Amino acid sequence: MSGFATHRQRVHDVRLTPRARHANLRTCVVMFAPYGFRATYHHLCVSAGVPRDLASDPESLVRAVEELGAARQLWLADEAAYTDRRRREKAVGRRYLPVDHHRRARRRGPGGSLAFCPDPGFHPGGPLPVVVARVLAAEPSSACPACDGRAGTTRWFSGHDEHDLCARCGITLGSRPAGRDVRVARERHERWIAIWRRTA
């Protein structure tokens, strides 16, 4: 499978159709999705102004992939610094897991979700690099790593799981299985299809 940089270049390639460039943007989001795939995709569409008719503004795809790429560079630099730090600690005999290990382990989940937002339409509104930098610098005890909000939580039901979300930015602060509700799951799916087609 080609890497992020290859797909990023294809988004820039004006010889490709807007639809092909969009497919490459989607692949980039699969490879790095700080809010999870759906919420990251929605954020980029809103932030870059990706229209329903891709041919009317193909440069919006470039704006989206560049925002995503800038956030990914911050994450890669942070991961490299952590790896280097752990190598040095192990070399002097410190093999215990650091305080931030579990927070980092969550980042290595599907799509590299740093701050999972289960509701694709409810996620931090700032530029992705700004939010990612804030999450990477957050203390493990912070109320919300993205906004440090203390506005409390709100609940969101996916049709399978119930999530406690930051009431200010929509990041999951906790989740639990809640049983299957076919009607709610269908509504959530239909909403996602509208977001995917950029009609929401």
Q: Where are the domains of the chain?
A: 4-141
> Model pTM?
0.87
Residues 6 or more apart in contact with residue 97 via CB below 8 angstroms = none
Question: How far is the C-alpha of 196 from the C-alpha of 124, rounded, in Å?
Answer: 18
Partner residues linked to 164 by β-bridges: 155, 174
pLDDT above 70 coverage of the chain, percent: 88
Classify burial at 180, counting beta carbons within 10 Å of its beta carbon; exposed 0-12, middle 13-18, buried 19 or more: exposed
Q: According to the model, what pLDDT value does residue 108 have?
A: 47
Q: Do residues 118 and 175 make contact, with C-beta atoms less than 8 angstroms apart? A: yes
Give the pLDDT mean for 169-185: 84
Strands ordered across the beta sheet of 172-177: 153-157, 161-166, 172-177
Q: What local confidence, expressed as pLDDT, does residue 48 receive?
A: 97
